[in-house]
Amino acid sequence: MQRIILVSSVILLFTSCSAGKHIVDNSEYNFRSVNALPDYGNLNYWAAHPWKHDPSDSVPLPLQKNYQPDSTIDIFFLYPTSYTDRTMPYGWNAPIDDSAINRKTDYNSILYQASIFNEAGRVFAPRYRQANYFAYFPSDTAAALAAFDTAYNDIKNAFEYYLEHYNAGRPIVIAAHSQGSTHAKRLIKEFFDGKPLQNRLVAAYIVGMPLEQDYFSNIPPCNTALQTGCVCSWRTFKDGYTDEFVSKENFQAIVTNPLTWDTAQPSVSRKTNEGSILLKFNKIKKRVAGATVHENILWTAKPHFFGNIFLKTPNYHIADYNFYYMSVRKNVQQRINAFWKK
């Protein structure tokens, strides 16, 4: 049975998003049909797709001059929860075509997270009937599990459609955050772990959710920056803080340092961080956050940016990717280069 994992309150660091002229809104359709199966032959049911212009195509202004995208690699990205209304107006699962939820997805996670990978390869991000945020700590466990299954089945159908119609034998990077990582674990287990498709897995970035060391039978943790066919994972908290739900975990989680990418270098200061993306997408801020592997989580000293005095939460879940934007962007390219050399 899928484990229900408590996720504590998230910070509001990136709730107001704008990317200027590089963004086109593709979410103006709203049929509110929770039970309707998504048709992945319709581009509206993809939050990101190489055949349409979407927020994942956005490139921060300082990077645009040398931007050289690759089309020989595919990135399959699973976004985090956008359906966060405690009242659950649509029930346990969000309708796939709700325009407000989709705009929240597109101008938050697709823009600020999926865009990390847009130079490394073609970005695919299927819309799915995501489980409500509060399914992670439910009063009705059976209903919550059913909601996660509904969401996963959409993702599974999207991935099968992608393999049949778009992949054409390309190597694949799986990237995900939060609820997306909940589903990415299942997807990799079902389609890659010990299966022929494992040979095409460049790497997986399963971020924001705990990933047990022994969850996969044949896919190891990434222990160096150039290792391929492996998985990276981390959850970011303030230095010295361990949340109650982490303390209750009875397993050892994979924790990757997203600045060193090397288990032999588990701690590094923020001075080595080449760039984070915070509220202003077109501004890359250096030396914002460090990274120290501590038991099942990643610690950083309080992020260094103007206005951080107002950052009170010690849980940096929403910024798991954003704090390490440039480092992840660089690392995925390193792993792709290593994959081709192999």
Asked whether the beta carbons of 292 and 298 are under 8 A apart, the reply is: yes
Residue 250 near residue 259 (C-beta atoms within 8 A) = no
The whole-angstrom separation of Cα 246 and Cα 239 is 14
- What phi-psi label fits residue 275: left (phi over 0), alpha (psi between -120 and 50 degrees) or beta? left
Of 2-11, 191-200, 240-249, least confident by mean pLDDT is 2-11
C-alpha to C-alpha distance for 207 and 7, rounded to whole angstroms: 13
**What confidence score (pLDDT) does residue 112 get?**
98
Q: How confident is the model at residue 1 (pLDDT cuts 50, 70, 90)?
A: very low
Q: pLDDT at position 132, please?
A: 98
The yes-or-no verdict on residue 53 having pLDDT over 50 is yes
Would you say residue 26 has pLDDT above 60? no
Using the structure block, give the residue that is written with the tokens 């996660």: 148
Phi, psi of 65 (to 5 degrees): -60, -40
Per-residue pLDDT reduced to its tens digit, 249-303: 999 999 999 999 999 999 999 999 999 999 999 999 999 999 999 999 999 999 9
Torsion over CA: 96, 127, 99, 132 (sign):
positive
CA 246 to chain centre: 20
pTM, to two decimals? 0.91
Quick one: 6 exposed, middle or buried, by C-beta within 10 A (0-12, 13-18, 19+)?
Answer: exposed
Distance CA 325, CA 277 (A): 6
- The full set of domain ranges for the chain reads 20-341
Residue 14 has pLDDT above 70, yes or no: no
pLDDT at 142 over 90: yes
Q: Looking at the predicted structure, is the pLDDT value of residue 32 above 80?
A: no
